[in-house]
Amino acid sequence: MYDIIIIGAGPAGISAAIYGKSRGRKVLVLEKNQVGGLIGMVSTVTHYTAVLKEETGKTFGERMKEQALGAGVEIRYEKVTETKLTGEIKNIVTDQESYQCKTVILANGGSGRMLGISGESLEGMRLNAPKDGPNYKGKNVYVIGGADGAVKEAIYLAKIAAKVTIVCVEDELVCIPEFKEKAALYSNIYMMPHTSLTAVYGAKRAEELEFTDNKTGKKQIVKDAECGVFVYAGIVPNTQMYTELKLVQGYIPVDEWMQTEIPGVFAAGDICVKKVRQVATAVADGAIAGIQAAAMCEWI
């Protein structure tokens, strides 16, 4: 029996674990992939306090892991498949084991939105900029999405690829001014405004991309058997298994103590109803949830 089980080892989950453990609680973190979450997979970590210029997602994630293990947090690499949240003792089922705990913190964030188009799973599609980018040296790449994450990864890719085309549904980039200004400095970054990628064709890998102009409906086929497509078209919350909770547009509502409507069940980070989804807000949520969950264990 654990005092606190945390689902997800992104910034919110790791922060919650470190605070819960510091209060003398028996804490378990369950992570299906790797410590770091979404931020562990980006080219550079920006704007988080005390992060220096060239902090990569990989180094940031590695330091999160080192800090958690150094604090004595137990991390198991298992995918949570089912939860029973109501009742005094919570049941958490993974693809390997079944666990019980007094309190649970739901910190399993979100996943990249699928475009829902044919050919989306072909090779060369849905690539990760820092991992796959170096394979596209001197080639053409497409970044789908015009918000902060997309433009930041496009700037990273512009240092490697011959040409980076940002495909966005809006008339112009919808990112922060800092990224707009930086992107404008690269002569190999191009824009396809009010456009969607609507189909991808190829035998095994992406060879032809079909773009549709959202204003005119006009379709355009681009043939490039060596291109790479990086999709940053929004995030979908990972809340499908939380059927006992009332969700708001897929996100979990919490109070100022990060408590959900079910006693002993907390949520933290991107998975919550909130306005700002950044590392800073995720770790803040995690700190509050970890401290509150630890305090609640006193009474259970």
Ligand X SMILES: Cc1cc2nc3c(=O)[nH]c(=O)nc-3n(C[C@H](O)[C@H](O)[C@H](O)COP(=O)(O)OP(=O)(O)OC[C@H]3O[C@@H](n4cnc5c(N)ncnc54)[C@H](O)[C@@H]3O)c2cc1C
List residues near ligand X by CB under 6 A. 7-13, 30-33, 37-39, 42, 45-48, 79-80, 107-110, 149, 152-153, 232, 238, 269-271, 277-280, 282
User: Three-state DSSP class for 31?
Assistant: coil
> Least CB distance from residue 235 to ligand X, whole Å?
6
Is the Cβ of residue 207 or residue 292 nearer to ligand X in the bound state? 292
SS3 readout for 163-223 = EEEEECCCCCCCCCHHHHHHHHCCCCEEEECCEEEEEEECCCECCEEEEEECCCCCEEEEE
Residue among 262, 233, 285 nearest 109 (CA): 285
> Least CB distance from residue 219 to ligand X, whole Å?
28
Is the Cβ of residue 26 or residue 274 nearer to ligand X in the bound state? 274
> Least CB distance from residue 217 to ligand X, whole Å?
30
Is the Cβ of residue 143 or residue 209 nearer to ligand X in the bound state? 143
Q: How far apart are CA 238 and CA 271, in angstroms?
A: 7
> Least CB distance from residue 296 to ligand X, whole Å?
21
Is the Cβ of residue 38 or residue 125 nearer to ligand X in the bound state? 38
Q: How far apart are CA 109 and CA 30, in angstroms?
A: 13
> Least CB distance from residue 115 to ligand X, whole Å?
15
Cα 10 to Cα 14, 18, 110, 131, 226, distances in angstroms:
6, 12, 10, 18, 33
User: Three-state DSSP class for 279?
Assistant: helix
Is the Cβ of residue 282 or residue 294 nearer to ligand X in the bound state? 282
